[in-house]
Amino acid sequence: MKKITAFIFDLDGVIVFTDQFHYQAWKKMADRMGIHFDEAINNRLRGVSRMESLEIILENYNGVLSLEEKNALAEEKNTSYRELLHTMTPGDVSQDVRRTLEELRGRGYKLAIGSSSKNARFILEKVGLLDFFDAISDGTNITNSKPDPEVFVKAAEYLGESPQSCIVVEDAYAGVDAAKAGGMAAAAMGDAASYEKADYVLQSFSDLLKIAPENEER
């Protein structure tokens, strides 16, 4: 087994928590369209791309929409979402997360973001973490959403590391599946902590330090 040299983090639900912003933005769009949308449906959207999320929501829509109309709805949602993101500050990153990231960097590990969000860089800028990561792979450079491993494979490539040298940190089943499909170990937290495919279970973000050896030659 190769030594671990890098950590790749999902963004939402791991580094920051914007689930409620997504819900509010999709809810606003759905209500305007007269489409039933609730928290249960919203949970199906976690880790899924914007257009795939829209298709899930449109399962409850009786009409037929053109691709142009769908793109307009997706952009409407994103505009609402970005308006909510403008309220984010560095205070939206917990001290546990910030201290752990700093310690991992201090131990010599490379850090990357692997997120399907096209707003990843904007969010990281708002919370003061944009320059904290060595690489960012997000919705702007992928064509396939999780559980496809593309976002994590590209993150490893950007880091210059092999997949076998990376641990992915995820909170969603689809993210764990993507990590495993990409040949990477998966550390699961939140909803994914009970997933049997996870290699590590995190009760807190700082538990990462238990699986990141200090002073080990890498």
Give the C-alpha separation, 81 to 59, whole Å. Answer: 21
Give the C-alpha separation, 25 to 82, whole Å. Answer: 9
Nearest alpha carbon to residue 118 among 56, 163, 51? 51
End-to-end C-alpha distance for the chain, whole angstroms: 13
* Residue type, position 40, single letter: A
Catalytic: 10? yes
- Catalytic, out of 12, 138, 171, 177: 12
- Catalytic, out of 10, 138, 171, 177: 10
* Residue type, position 201, single letter: V
Q: Is 114 helix (H, G, I), strand (E, B) or coil?
A: strand
Tokens 């489409």 correspond to what residue?
35
Catalytic: 31? no
Catalytic positions, written as ranges: 10, 12
